Amino acid sequence: MKLDHWQALLGRTTMTGMDIVLRPVGWIHSSEHMSAQGSRENYWGDIISEIRLDDSRFASDALEGLTEFSHVEVLFYLHGVSEASVVVARRHPRNNPNWPQVGIFAQRGKARPNRIAATVCRLLSVQGLTLKVQGLDAFDGSPVLDIKPVFAEFTPDRAAIRQPKWSHELMADYFARGKS
């Protein structure tokens, strides 16, 4: 559909200033908690989390067929990030001066304008309204916005992905295992 069609459907002449309201589909339950000392930056590979769907909105058949997939993509809200800490310009990733300043959309920092994160993680099991996953980089209590199965056709050939050297350094231990 063309933009003018969408504008007519929404009864607007402009798309600016639009508020989008989302309801969590569930919540993350994890041994990882936000703390005053700061949050975990690396070694998410061994972390096992549960995603519990909202039982007032969903029945277990909402997850039917999901066990046929090895991985899911979880979109969640970074609820521990304050509005005041949100970055809308450029900065050093993880505030590391050894890495170049890049715009917030050229990094995966948590202080994002809409505080939405997306992670592909291994699906270990589904029981009732609960998914057990491994490698989800989210803290206990994080609202889950959506869950999608990972189709190989949606993932690019890893060899075809281009990214700067600093990003490889940043991610070297991010999903590493053994230090949880």
The whole-angstrom separation of Cα 98 and Cα 106 is 16
Residue 131 lies in a domain: yes
Per the structure, how many domains does the chain have?
1
Q: Are 80 and 65 in contact (CB under 8 A)?
A: no
Domain with 121 in it: 20-151+164-171
Residue 51 lies in a domain: yes
Residue 116 lies in a domain: yes
| Helix boundaries (H) for 82-135 | none
Residue 72 lies in a domain: yes
Predicted pLDDT at 37: 47
CATH of the domain at 86: 2.40.30.70
Residue 79 lies in a domain: yes
Residue 67 lies in a domain: yes
From first to last of the 180 residues of the chain, give the pLDDT tens digit: 555 555 555 555 556 778 899 999 999 998 776 655 456 565 666 889 999 999 999 999 999 999 999 999 999 999 988 899 898 999 898 888 999 999 999 888 888 899 999 999 999 999 999 999 998 988 899 999 999 999 988 888 878 888 888 888 877 777 778 765
Residue 7 lies in a domain: no
Number of residues assigned to the chain = 180
